[in-house]
Structure 1
């Protein structure tokens, strides 16, 4: 999947179906992995023999999917689905060496020529790009910053709920490790440490090589993140919306498999470690028209245009409802608390990282106009990137349509403000838990409907309500410490 780079952005060079079949033959591919994403963001696959794969199947799709067995897709009484491979996503999976395997991402369709499955997240992302053009813009560019943890081992006991539940994390970097390097990282002391404290540089190097060379996902920078015990970040170059979501899903797939090769385990869980920073998926966005970034205006403060302000205003207006999509797990809300670098307060600013929307200020001037963007800091990596980018785009476009001003920048550290000071400044707060976020989405969903069908929104709410209930009916181990002697 080759790319060229224009103004720092990865532009995908498209493969034709004929070129894919030629590569399968000349690269001696034995199997083709057909990959797709469920509504809630899980990556799935089925594998076919390369010598049975035909041009007709590339064109018409393969009848390989029971939609009722994929959470969120279909009911059991109407479940025949088609996987249509996208030739532009061809890549050879480098760790499958014994039987050489290539992958193709797939779009999901109903059988019997009934059209696209509305709950296919990739289809929602493509709808978002099409809707953007109807609003007079050419494209949006997205650059996700995906954080994750890499542990040596993880143990949990949840299968005996009447006995009690527990988990434990092993990491040579952690201050609680019994077999560490001798240079442990304290809680919230893991940002940019040098080796030997940072034990995961070789792991991240290999991940970047695979992302760049095998999958065509351009990554430039990687580093250890703030938390102890193996928190990492690998930066993805920005791209068109669907491409960026494809890259994020592939990124997660690659990270997990390279971790397995290193004898470790990677997780995108937002908050696995108590009393330490969680993992985010800051999402950078800009809008383009006539080959110009319309968020850039050299004459405005922070060089953010009026269009950029309106887009920001839309995000802030719908931030609470967005949480049900950008922070879709009960664990997400353990990250969204003050004191651990995650944004909690609904405000915007320049370099101030306590605001939920940030306007990065590293460079100035027309020569860097292509970098002018909004960084939405709420999302976390448990979210489905196809849905995140589509929902944030919908919120921003709603702000543009309504000419929604975001209010004044907040340049002070919001974490240090009192509640009264925040109320005086009109600074809202994100939902405290998933149930509250779903209530917000139920009452504020109209901004999504140009891109999301109500059927999709209803299903998201239904599935996340189920998860919220799963946790709410179970006692937490720490509650025994707090309340056993009441």
Structure 2
């Protein structure tokens, strides 16, 4: 049931003295975009008449089909707590449509909606949570970002070692003001690295929450003179930042991870679902780890999910499966990072898992505990793609994953990432200069 009607929005805008409304949407790369309008245009907003030039958004449309329309999702209406109390600023998250009222095929939110509808037709629904890690670095005097920090904190440290706890506190309170139910916040393993966990939700709401979460973290950090980054590997010698996806699969309202004929065993549907993801995981990696820096994090060492396999205890596996099954059991997909578009990541995992259910895909053996040592001697142990171009090539070969993305997104994404890789390969790094300049 919807939380708001159009009339509710009109009354809220008037009662709360809202002057500006930001119409937010997500591009194919997972970047939040927006168009700001005054509340004098509220009727136009609510009637889906706000138009923008899609050709101006990389990866969206060509000039011959540039007119796109923003349809606000009424239940995402929020007033920004950090803006003035008079002349307030609010926002809607929006779906993107063509002029004729058909969904824009390059809208990643639409891609996820299609998959969740397909799941419902099969009798499935999902509860999804995410664990987004981020760093808080000092900003330079001119406000530009840096990787500097004077903090020395580690896992679950407290102040004064944890110098970011006040920032984290304000982030949590802001999120709660915006309707989030925050379950926990704490210092992560890296110096100046943090994590905030919020309550599980439906797939679409969970992706919406991630987009809002990233925005809030960056804005509150900046108010404290800091720069928040979700970059997967910002420092050579510190822990990388991931976006673990934690999900449960419900069939007729019952979690399939707790249903099995034998105690301590996954049911067949759960095995098929996991097997489906593993089958397509290399191609999914192109979307779940979409930048060159992503692969600096996915290098095998302690607790890094660099392998395309599953395990109960081995955190080098990209999928972790619970070993005690109850109504709250969930599977953890550990390889994605927060440079990814959450709508597409969720859509691909769910689509691949559902295909595994349809085809009754066979779940492979779990990874051994000493995966890194055994990799060279065991050909059944497979790494995730080692570089961005490896994952893009896997995506090009996986017609099923391309079909889930749709032609518009698949072609534009592959084209852009090949260009990014080519640009990267032509750059001379500081490491190369340091290693070679003096002796060659």
Q: TM-score range by the shorter chain?
A: over 0.9
Which residue is 2:383 aligned to?
429
Give the Cα–Cα distance (whole angstroms) in 1 for the partners of residues 146 and 8 of structure 2.
48
Structure 2, gaps ≥5 residues long: none
Counterpart contact for 1:277–1:340, Cα < 8 Å = no
| 1:281 correspondence with 2:243 | yes
Residues in 2 aligned to 1:38 and 1:318: alpha-carbon distance in whole angstroms: 23
**What is the CA distance between 1:415 and its match in structure 2?**
3.0
TM-score (structure 1 length as normaliser):
0.86
Measured after TM superposition, the shift of residue 414 of structure 1 is: 1.9
Of 32, 47, 50, the match for 1:59: 47
Task: Say whether 1:471 aligns with 2:434.
Answer: no
Match of 1:210 in 2: 174
Distance 1:238 1:303, change over 3 A: farther
| Structure 1 residue 295 corresponds to structure 2 residue 260 | no
Q: Indicate whether 1:349 and 2:311 are aligned.
A: yes
Gap change, CA 1:463 and 1:291, over 3 Å in 2: same
**Aligned residues of 1:192 and 1:225 also touching (Cα < 8 A):** yes
**1:438 corresponds to which of 387, 392, 404:** 392
Local SS of the residue matching 1:260:
helix
- Identify the residue that residue 304 of structure 1 maps to in structure 2: 266
**Structure 2 partner of 1:176:** none
1:14 aligned residue: 3
Q: 1:462 maps to which residue?
A: 415
Give the CA deviation at 1:223.
1.0
Post-superposition offset of 1:62: 1.0
RMSD of the alignment, in Å? 2.0
Q: Indicate whether 1:71 and 2:47 are aligned.
A: no
Aligned to 1:44: 33
Q: Structure 1 unaligned runs (5+)? A: 1-11, 157-166, 174-183
Say if 1:280 and 1:342, in contact at 8 Å, map to a contact too. no
Query: Which of 320, 332, 335 does residue 297 from structure 2 map onto?
Result: 335
Residue of structure 2 equivalent to 1:221: 184
Q: How does 1:45-444 map to 2 (within 5 A)?
A: 45-54=34-43, 56-63=44-51, 65-97=52-84, 99-111=87-99, 113=100, 115-134=102-121, 136-153=122-139, 169-173=147-151, 184-185=152-153, 190-214=154-178, 216-228=179-191, 230-297=192-259, 299-300=261-262, 302-339=264-301, 341-361=303-323, 364=324, 368-369=326-327, 371-420=328-377, 422-423=378-379, 426-444=380-398
Q: Following TM superposition, by how much is the alpha carbon of 1:298 offset from its aligned partner in structure 2, in angstroms?
A: 5.2
Return the offset for 1:343.
0.6
Deviation at 1:58, TM superposition (A): 1.0
Contact kept in structure 1, 2:146 and 2:227, CA below 8 Å: no
Deviates more, 1:251-260 or 1:190-199: 190-199
Deviation at 1:404, TM superposition (A): 1.3
TM superposition score normalised by structure 2: 0.94
CA shift digits 1:363-400 (9 cap, x unpaired)? x46xx41x222111110000000000001111111211
| 3-state DSSP of counterpart to 2:71 | strand
Retained in 1: the 8 A contact 2:128–2:201? yes
Conserved 8 A contact 1:346-1:430? yes
Task: Give SS of 2:405's match.
Answer: coil
Q: Displacement of 1:154 after TM fit?
A: 6.0
Question: CA 1:465–1:360 in structure 2 vs 1: closer, same or farther (change >3 Å)?
Answer: same
Deviation by residue 1:116-151 (Cα, 9 ceiling, x = unmatched): 1101111111111112123x1241111111111110
**Structure 1 stretch displaced more, 294-303 or 203-212:** 294-303
